[in-house]
Structure 1
């Protein structure tokens, strides 16, 4: 079974400059894709993170819209960084749900995924 077949949450390709922080360590990253369960990033070269600590991810969508989530490192292959969402506030999950809904073109799909996420 491939990773795509095992994946329960749709990933949408969405490119945005993203701010990541861990304690006093802060850096920029390019968002590659996003799902209700996490993000895939390409961090800047000067970014050094402790893989065992929480990482705050902030994605600016517009002047007044931002997705902020607490994540943990799932994988790092030297170029990309896969992060699993540990917690997200209500406003951020609303923005994320709408972003996924718009990119999937199917509001029912995002609703099913959100229900599945709440069941985890």
Structure 2
């Protein structure tokens, strides 16, 4: 099987929230990348849209990371979320989190460039 993944995933077990319109679900973040996340399917999860806001606090800090995501797959009690939009402050914190866990700044710089290019195709 060919690996299509372009972004390094970091195992990151942490409490998180998913929001869709006026509904909020508590969930557990399983892994994270610059381009999305994998979370546990929350109890009573019935979103009215595929677009969800994911938010979590980095442990031992008051740093909140938020990203607008799209539900791209749901399998084995897990939700795969693709990042649609993330603010500059959140991406800075997420980049640092991934950097600390990947350990290869060159790889991370390549992924960050790819992340930016995917969102600015007119470049």
Same fold (TM over 0.5): yes
State the distance in 2 between where 1:49 and 1:78 align.
17
Residue of structure 1 equivalent to 2:10: 12
CA RMSD of superposed structures (Å): 1.3
The alpha-carbon deviation at position 53 of structure 1 amounts to 3.6
Deviations 1:34-87 (A, max 9, x none): 11110000032122213x442000011144211100001100115000010000
Corresponding residue to 1:82 among 76, 80, 83:
80
Residue of structure 1 equivalent to 2:36: 38
On the 8 A contact 1:26/1:47 being kept in 2, the answer is no
State the distance in 1 between where 2:4 and 2:51 align.
25
On the 8 A contact 2:25/2:43 being kept in 1, the answer is no
TM-score calculated relative to the size of structure 1: 0.90
Runs of 4 or more, structure 1, over 4 Å off, are none
Aligned 1:101-120 pairs, distance under 5 A: 101-120=99-118
Corresponding residue to 1:55 among 52, 55, 70:
52
Residue of structure 1 equivalent to 2:94: 96
Give the number of aligned pairs: 117
Corresponding residue to 2:71 among 73, 76, 83:
73
